Amino acid sequence: MVLESEARPNLNRLAERSMPAQSPVMYQRWHELLFLHWSMAPELVAQVLPPGLQVDTFEGKAWIGVVPFSMRGIRPRFLPAVAGLSNFPELNLRTYVVDAQGRPGVWFYSLDTPKRLPNWIARTFFHLNYRLARIEVQNREAKNSYLSELRLESEWDAPQKYTWERTGDAYLAELGSLDFFLVERYRLFAYNPKTKHLLTGKVHHEPYPIQTVDLFDYTARLFELNGLVAPTGAPVSTLASAGVDVSIFPMERV
């Protein structure tokens, strides 16, 4: 089912920024993010969503994003970061949804990282589609290089390469803009197929300082790896951010 985002007050989106009342379960930093987005027919996205979610649209279009970045300093609330487990890259494919209460959030098709234990924890307790990949990242000031190969049964898939440089002054997305719709997201959704329960969790951080991008390399291979038709053209929106510090809150039944 498709729900027009424009029909809901933008104040609902601003409200999602507020700090949740409960205590966070985890802290981390999201570092050097690239946001590549393509538009898609809402009906195609709606076909794969679980019960209880609707497509969130901007100007009548659904949007799917490829987001490579690195996670730094991951730690539970009462524990320090652990060497070898607290810093690693991630590559995800995502779209945007709302639940029956009209709360906007992110639906992840896939999340690829090189860490087996964090992947297992995320799949088991957060019911997110984490997958094993080998990933190489280089960060040199504002220029970033990212190479990912997904593990497919007994072999590695073709490399996915992303190279970009943040350019221009950082700015905050303006309420009501496409930039705001794509990056200002403070809620994720997941689905437990065993219990048939829809779950949601909040994240909290300062608004992204976003910048324009010089994009040198990219691929839409993640679409095909998730059973979607790959876009034929360049991304409609290309943004980057140096990063934000993030608080992660418990998953709850919707």
Taking the C-alpha atoms of residue 126 and residue 106, their distance in angstroms, rounded to an integer, is: 14
Percent of the chain with pLDDT over 70: 94
Q: Are 124 and 14 in contact (CB under 8 A)?
A: no
Q: Are 94 and 109 in contact (CB under 8 A)?
A: yes
- State both tokens at 54: 């609707």
Which residues make Cβ contacts (< 8 Å) with residue 239, sequence separation at least 6?
Answer: 34, 35, 179, 182, 183, 210, 211, 212, 213
Taking the C-alpha atoms of residue 34 and residue 244, their distance in angstroms, rounded to an integer, is: 13
Indicate whether 208 pLDDT > 90: yes
The closest alpha carbon to 110, from 225, 199, 194, 248, belongs to 225
Q: How many domains does the chain have?
A: 1
Task: Print the domain residue range for 169.
Answer: 2-16+25-253
What mean pLDDT, rounded, does the chain reach? 92
- Beta-bridge partner residues of 145: 138, 163
3-state secondary structure of 179: helix
pLDDT value, residue 122: 85
Q: What is the 3-state secondary structure (H, E, C) of 181-207?
A: HHHCCCEEEEEECCCCEEEEEEEECCC
Most confident of 5-9, 152-156, 196-200: 196-200
Tell me the pTM. 0.93
- pLDDT per position as a tens digit, 14-59: 889 999 999 999 999 999 999 999 999 999 999 999 999 999 999 9
Indicate whether 153 pLDDT > 90: no
At 134, the amino acid letter reads R
CATH of residue 54's domain is 2.40.400.10
